[in-house]
Amino acid sequence: MKYRSTRGGMAPLPFCDILLEGLAPDGGLSLPETLPQLDADTLESWRGLSYADLAAQVLGLFIDDIPADDLLRMTRAAYAPDVFPQIAPVKPLRPGLALLGLSEGPTLAFKDMAMQFLGQVFEYVLDQRGQTLNILGATSGDTGSAAEYALRGKRGVAVFMLSPQGRMSAFQRAQMYSLQDANIHNIAVRGVFDECQDIVKALAGDLDFKSTHHLGAVNSINWARIAAQIVYYVWGWLRATQGPGQQVSFAVPSGNFGNILAGHLARRMGVPIHRLVLATNENNVLEEFFRTGVYRPRPASQTYATSSPSMDISRASNFERFVFDLVGQDAARVRALMAELQQTGQFDLSALKPQFTERYGFVAGASSHADRLTTIRAIHDETGVLIDPHTADGVKVAQAHLEPGIPMLVLETALPAKFAETILEATGQAPAVPAALQDLQQRPQRVETMDCDARQVADYLHRHAL
């Protein structure tokens, strides 16, 4: 299994090389040269597997430069009961509508599902090669803490995580900034998430700086994140169906497009997925694209601060991987579109709009603060289940796309404890906080605050890199 760039400028590389590279040298994103295919017999043979053993099977389709026994050992460590007391349970909400619970890990967010595997595989590959790696990432809320908890104390890895100052919940900030491990570095940038992401891309795109400082990525631009997320689409399908061929739809709260991209790839691999329901908040650039065919990211000044802050994103890093499929995997066309985007601030693929749903199964919708409050309150009143604001966006949009006989699974984004203010507004009661985290916001915090300036970040990284 070799990997290529969406922009066509990278020689094919094995998994372990792209794991450490992050962004491709030509500025594109890595994808398999060919996508593995799953037939009904293979899917049925996996029904009795534990999550860890299923992960080894699915990831093994993409990783042939790590021995199968070592891969299984890593997935069993990543998805052990002491890391995930429950793992991806299906929680019924209404007829035909259920949650896939992805937030039972150490940071109470779905990002743990992929990050715990990344923590294992980074350490393994770096040990094998005798190398070090400096992870440079950006977070709008949950990626940062999930990455830091997965990589804290790991050999040969340092993490430099940029976050938008004042744009995350108090709980999210405390989860990241309270870590005192020597290999964890938090940088609060005076700006929005998209500007943090721009800094990461600028430094990763400086090939001399990247090579000198051994830069890697843990955002979903790293293919390993996407591969690990494909696992829970397979798991969810197996849990929501009784036999081969039955269709399932997934509703996915979406900001950076990585989570739903994994569903798109699972569908292309042969998992019987009917609809991929993309849910956004007021920052609805992706919803606008699927409605109109025009991709028109907004500037920082027009990126709203909302009550589902992890989706306060106007430029989705992973969208390029979907565009690559949409234009027939034509790397030259992708390069031209990305150049057009840089020059004009948008590109128009409305001529391909019929393919969005007919070929790829996508539908989309947006949710507002009032929608979130209404949805959280209604679900709690009906079922006793509390959902976080991002998951509420998913539930709200999912309900417009329910179809008889086709289960709809909403991918849970986080536990409500991370967004107490909104939960309190919706229900009149604060969400329960796990006992181990009840003093989280009182713990000492360690963070560097900087202007939105790639040079300042580069200087800090230069002084603290491994």
pLDDT at 347: 98
pLDDT-based confidence at residue 22 (cuts at 50, 70, 90): confident
Q: What is the mean pLDDT of the chain?
A: 96
CA–CA dist 271, 238 (Å, integer): 10
pLDDT of 289-314, one tens digit each? 999 999 999 999 999 999 999 999 99
Interstrand relation of 215-216 and 248-253 (parallel, antiparallel or unpaired):
unpaired
Residues 6+ apart with CB under 8 A from 145: 107, 109, 111, 139, 172, 175, 176
Cβ contact 252:262 at 8 Å: no
Cβ contact 126:157 at 8 Å: yes
pLDDT of 394-404, one tens digit each? 999 999 999 99
Give the predicted TM-score (pTM) of the model. Answer: 0.95
**Domain range 3-83+110-222+443-464, its CATH number among 3.10.110.10, 3.40.720.10, 3.40.50.1820, 3.40.50.1100:** 3.40.50.1100
Instruction: Provide the residue type at 6 as one letter.
Output: T
Cβ contact 99:90 at 8 Å: yes
pLDDT at 21: 85
Which residues are identified as catalytic? 111
Distance of CA 237 to the CA centre of its chain: 19
Q: Is the pLDDT of residue 220 over 90?
A: no
**% of the chain surpassing 70 pLDDT:** 100
Domains 3-83+110-222+443-464 and 90-109+226-427 share a fold: yes
pLDDT of 128-140, one tens digit each? 999 999 999 999 8
Q: Is the pLDDT of residue 219 over 90?
A: no
Note the CATH number of domain 90-109+226-427.
3.40.50.1100
Q: Is the pLDDT of residue 23 over 90?
A: no
**Residue ranges per domain, the chain?**
3-83+110-222+443-464, 90-109+226-427
Average pLDDT (41-60) is 98
Cβ contact 297:285 at 8 Å: yes
Q: Is the pLDDT of residue 232 over 90?
A: yes
Which residues partner with 273 through β-bridges?
248
Average pLDDT (429-448) is 94
3-state secondary structure of 166: coil
pLDDT-based confidence at residue 141 (cuts at 50, 70, 90): confident
pLDDT-based confidence at residue 74 (cuts at 50, 70, 90): very high
pLDDT of 363-392, one tens digit each? 999 999 999 999 999 999 999 999 999 999
